Amino acid sequence: MQANMVTAINNALELGMRSDENIVLLGEDIGKDGGVFRVTEGLLDKFGEQRVMDTPLAESGILGASVGMALAGLHPVPEIQFAGFMFLGFGQLVNHAARYRSRTRSSFPVPMVVRTPVSGGIRTLEHHSESPEAYYSHMGGLIVVEPSTPYDAKGLMLRAMKMNDPVVFLEPTKLYRLFKQDIPEDAYEVEIGKADITRKGEALTVISYGTMMPIVKDVVAKKGVDAEIIDLRTINPLDEKTILESAKKTGRVVIVHEASLSFGVGAEVAARIAEKAIFELDAPIVRVASPSLPYPFPGYEKYYLPNAMKISQAIDRVMEA
Amino acid sequence: MEQRAFEGEIEYIQVMDETGNVDQSLFPKDLDDQKILEMYKYMLFARANDAKTLSLQRQGRAVTYAPLLGEEATQIGSAYAMRKQDIFVPNFRQHGVFLMRGLPLEWMYLYWRGYEEQLPKDVNGEAIIVPVATQMPHAVGMAYAQTYKKKDAVVIVYVGDGGTSEGDFYEALNFAGVWKVPLVVIIENNQWAISLPRGKQSAAKTLAQKAFAAGIGGVQVDGNDVIAVYKATKDAIDKAKTGPTVVECVTYRLGMHTTADDPTKYRPDAEVEIWERRDPLARVKAYLVRKGLWNDQMEKETSEQQSKEIDDAVERAEQFKEDPRSIFTNVYSFVPQTLQDELDDAEKNNFWQEGGK
């Protein structure tokens, strides 16, 4: 089937719900309206309001109720309308969803998949453009995934719905309808914790994920450089093995993400390479990210987001070093 | 045109007064003296258990502890109303409820030593929750799951007077009202949130009336009257199929918030003395003694038996051998390679050889 990321996730949710009646969806405007991005469109009609719930407007309530549902044997898939609003429920995720299994020595697992649109580039209002992956990855206990293609989105979602863990499923709004892919109609899974080498190469390694992936691919193609491109897909737990193997092979690494530079995922990836492969590098690691400041208003977005020029220059820098 | 857009009132219930006299018109039909005796023994047990944990903490054998002294009627009365299949969601002070629900005593002593190992799931719906109101939305989600799975179970969640100021309290009540879930909210109003008195916690005359904003019913009871607490909880459980109820139990924390604070610093002794005279155990004892069902000798024997059970449990808990690997292996349903590497690093390089010191 031809699918963009919206239809791919919608299809995954439908298949998951058909195979497991403990899966319930809840969130703001996800039923009648089908979600503000239409990711849950049609699911209310197919599964009824017991399984597709339009909730009151309260993010902590949604995430807290989801934790309770998970503890009581359901497998909730809450949607938080935008990642910027998810901070209102941050405590429920970090204090409870992330900790429950660990603190109770696995007697209380919390199986749930928290979906939320992330990242910018679509000129939205304030709090609609955040890239929060590092926050959710930092404390441990939450699995954090972020697909960049319809194929991965469907496979990762189907996998996430089968895991007995809390998964934060980040959906880049910019990629929702950017392109279509031919994906299998049936259920299939993409392994969580496994990065995808989307292009084999020898000259350098470019590590990225989410909104930056299409730009990275484009820049590499246009420059004609023999780059190995890695799409992390899962932020936590990090696929360190794939990262290190590639870094050791090429000796040159550029890390690209939309989230701001300081204390970000790029810092984590760079640190791991530095700790375990620094003597096999031929050049300093370069990070490309948004500047270390709050996401600006849409008028300034174009000055904030990493673009092809910035990525291209970073590649030149590691190649010339 | 002028008309009333909303009307509501909060009933206050007391069945047994401070001297042990009972208002027969309010006496629950399903209670009898044997059951009151049973509740009394549990209240004694809860108090003895509390004193023991406090003393262990003072000896450095327990971590920071939140005592329940004074709140026995609220906890035992509400727990006694629960059925086996009902689900209890604690906050952090409900040691009496855990006791009544049959949580093995050594588990509690283990918890207060700093370990939470394999909490038995049939006792309660979730583990001890510390951030005062975050358990409220959990309880709503659990209650939703009971309806969804067509189970005849009610969720009973506890929250303190301080917890009713939290956003999660209001969000949860609001969800519960809209979803009409089988939920009973016990507000254990012990009148002090660490150093903040009830009067500064909320300008609302009762905490039970907060239910009205969520479109659900509320009632206030004398939280030191075990029969009133039982009655209100039982009534709420009985009608939970039609929706949630808030039961505010007005009690008093006779001790400290936790072992980390000194209440003499922030509240007057005179107030504490008033509430000591309203002791939740004394009135039940007076009632039972008058009925010829209880005497000092029986109390002595019961206390000795309970102390022995407690001491045995403490001993079992203190024999527990910790396993540092377990904090690594239970984070996810699998052990990620990066975490395995950190575990291997610690083991291979003997980071734990001095017991973590």
| Interface-testing mutation among B86, B129, B144, with chain A (most A C-beta atoms within 10 A) | B144
CB atoms within 10 A of CB B130: 11
Nearest CA in chain B to A74: B145
CA distance A211 to A256: 10
A261 touches chain B (CB under 8 A): no
Give yes or no: residues A131 and A32 share one domain: yes
pLDDT tens per residue across all 321 residues of chain A: 999 999 999 999 999 999 999 999 999 999 999 999 999 999 999 999 999 999 999 999 999 999 999 999 999 999 999 999 999 999 999 999 999 999 999 999 999 999 999 999 999 999 999 999 999 999 999 999 999 999 999 999 999 999 999 999 999 999 999 999 999 999 999 999 999 999 999 999 999 999 999 999 999 999 999 999 999 999 999 999 999 999 999 999 999 999 999 999 999 999 999 999 999 999 999 999 999 999 999 999 999 999 999 999 999 999 998
Q: Does residue A191 sit within a domain?
A: no
CA distance A256 to A265: 9
Give yes or no: residues A110 and A27 share one domain: yes
The model's pLDDT over B97-131, given as tens digits with 9 standing for 90+, comes to 999 999 999 999 999 999 998 788 778 778 999 99
Q: Does residue A36 sit within a domain?
A: yes
Give yes or no: residues A136 and A262 share one domain: no
Give yes or no: residues A167 and A235 share one domain: no
The model's pLDDT over B270-310, given as tens digits with 9 standing for 90+, comes to 999 999 999 999 999 999 999 999 999 999 999 999 999 99
**Of A155, A182, A209, which one is at a domain's C-terminal end?**
A182
Asked if B146's CB is within 8 angstroms of A72's CB, the reply is yes
What are the chain A neighbours of B129 within 8 Å (beta carbons)?
96
DSSP string for residues in B78-112:
HHHH--TT-EEE--SS-HHHHHHHT--HHHHHHHT
Per-residue DSSP letter, B235 = H
A138 touches chain B (CB under 8 A): no
Nearest CA distance, A104 vs chain B (angstrom): 6
CATH no. for B11-318: 3.40.50.970
Asked if A71's CB is within 8 angstroms of B140's CB, the reply is no
Of A258-267, B316-325, B331-340, minimum mean pLDDT range = B316-325
- Nearest by CB to residue A61, choosing from B87, B172, B330, is B172
Residue type at A127 in one-letter notation: H
* Predicted local confidence at residue B309, as pLDDT: 97
CA distance A13 to A75: 12
Measure Cα distances from B102 to A209, B96, B107, B216, B337 in Å.
50, 10, 11, 31, 39
Q: Does residue A190 sit within a domain?
A: no
The model's pLDDT over B174-215, given as tens digits with 9 standing for 90+, comes to 999 999 999 999 999 999 999 999 999 999 999 999 999 999
* Predicted local confidence at residue B1, as pLDDT: 87
B333 touches chain A (CB under 8 A): yes
Q: Does residue A211 sit within a domain?
A: yes
Q: Is B292 left (phi over 0), alpha (psi -120 to 50) or beta?
A: left
Nearest CA distance, B234 vs chain A (angstrom): 22
- Nearest by CB to residue A102, choosing from B171, B331, B338, is B331
Give catalytic residues of B, as residue numbers.
253, 257, 266
ipTM over 0.90: yes
Q: Please state the domain count of chain A.
A: 2
Looking at chain A, which runs of residues are DSSP E strands? 2-3, 23-27, 52-54, 75-79, 112-118, 143-145, 166-172, 181-182, 196-199, 204-208, 227-231, 234-236, 253-260, 286-290
A153 touches chain B (CB under 8 A): no
- Nearest by CB to residue B141, choosing from A50, A67, A102, is A67
Asked if B141's CB is within 8 angstroms of A69's CB, the reply is yes
In contact, B139 and A96? CB cutoff 8 Å: no
Nearest CA in chain B to A237: B336
- What does chain A come to in residues? 321
CB-based contacts of B119: which residues, under 8 Å, 6+ apart?
A104, A107, A108, B107, B127
In contact, B293 and B311? CB cutoff 8 Å: no
- Nearest by CB to residue B134, choosing from A56, A96, A109, is A96
Nearest CA distance, A221 vs chain B (angstrom): 32
Q: Does residue A152 sit within a domain?
A: yes
* Predicted local confidence at residue B356, as pLDDT: 53
Chain A residues 167-226 within an 8 A CB cutoff of chain B: 193
Average confidence score pLDDT of chain A: 97
Give yes or no: residues A14 and A145 share one domain: yes
Give yes or no: residues A209 and A312 share one domain: yes
CB atoms within 10 A of CB B38: 14
- Nearest by CB to residue B119, choosing from A58, A104, A140, is A104
Give catalytic residues of A, as residue numbers.
128
Find the CATH number of the domain harbouring A94: 3.40.50.970
Chain A residues 79-98 within an 8 A CB cutoff of chain B: 91-92, 95-96
Closest alpha carbon to B134 in B156, B111, B158, B153: B158
B256 compared with B353, residue with greater pLDDT = B256
B139 touches chain A (CB under 8 A): yes
What are the chain A neighbours of B127 within 8 Å (beta carbons)?
100, 103-104, 108
Assess whether pLDDT exceeds 80 at residue B354.
no
CB atoms within 10 A of CB B57: 19
Give yes or no: residues A169 and A200 share one domain: no
Over range B34-59, report the average pLDDT.
Answer: 97
**Of A123, A151, A182, which one is at a domain's C-terminal end?**
A182
- The residue assigned the tokens 């949860």 is B172
Find the CATH number of the domain harbouring A234: 3.40.50.920
Q: Supply B187's token pair.
A: 């507000």
Q: B355 falls in which pLDDT band (50, 70, 90)?
A: low
CB-based contacts of B300: which residues, under 8 Å, 6+ apart?
none
Largest pairwise CA distance in chain A: 59
What are the residue boundaries of the structural domains of chain B, listed by start? Answer: 11-318, 323-357
CB-based contacts of B35: which residues, under 8 Å, 6+ apart?
B80
Domain that residue A208 falls in = 196-320
* Predicted local confidence at residue A115, as pLDDT: 98
Give yes or no: residues A164 and A203 share one domain: no
A49 touches chain B (CB under 8 A): no
CA distance B291 to B221: 24
How many A×B Cβ pairs under 8 Å? 143
Burial class (CB in 10 A: 0-12, 13-18, 19+), B298: middle
* Predicted local confidence at residue B219, as pLDDT: 98
The phi, psi pair for A114, rounded to 5°, reads: -95, 115
The phi, psi pair for A169, rounded to 5°, reads: -110, 105
Per-residue DSSP letter, A88 = G
Give yes or no: residues A162 and A213 share one domain: no
Asked if B138's CB is within 8 angstroms of A65's CB, the reply is yes
A309 touches chain B (CB under 8 A): no
CB-based contacts of A272: which residues, under 8 Å, 6+ apart?
A238, A240, A243, A244
Give yes or no: residues A140 and A207 share one domain: no
- Nearest by CB to residue B126, choosing from A71, A165, A237, is A71
Q: Does residue A46 sit within a domain?
A: yes
* Predicted local confidence at residue B120, as pLDDT: 83
A164 touches chain B (CB under 8 A): yes
Q: Does residue A62 sit within a domain?
A: yes
Strands A227-231 and A196-199 come out as antiparallel
Q: Does residue A168 sit within a domain?
A: yes
CA distance B3 to A294: 50
With H, G, I as helix, E, B as strand and everything else as coil, classify residue A76.
Answer: strand
A233 touches chain B (CB under 8 A): no
Give yes or no: residues A55 and A107 share one domain: yes
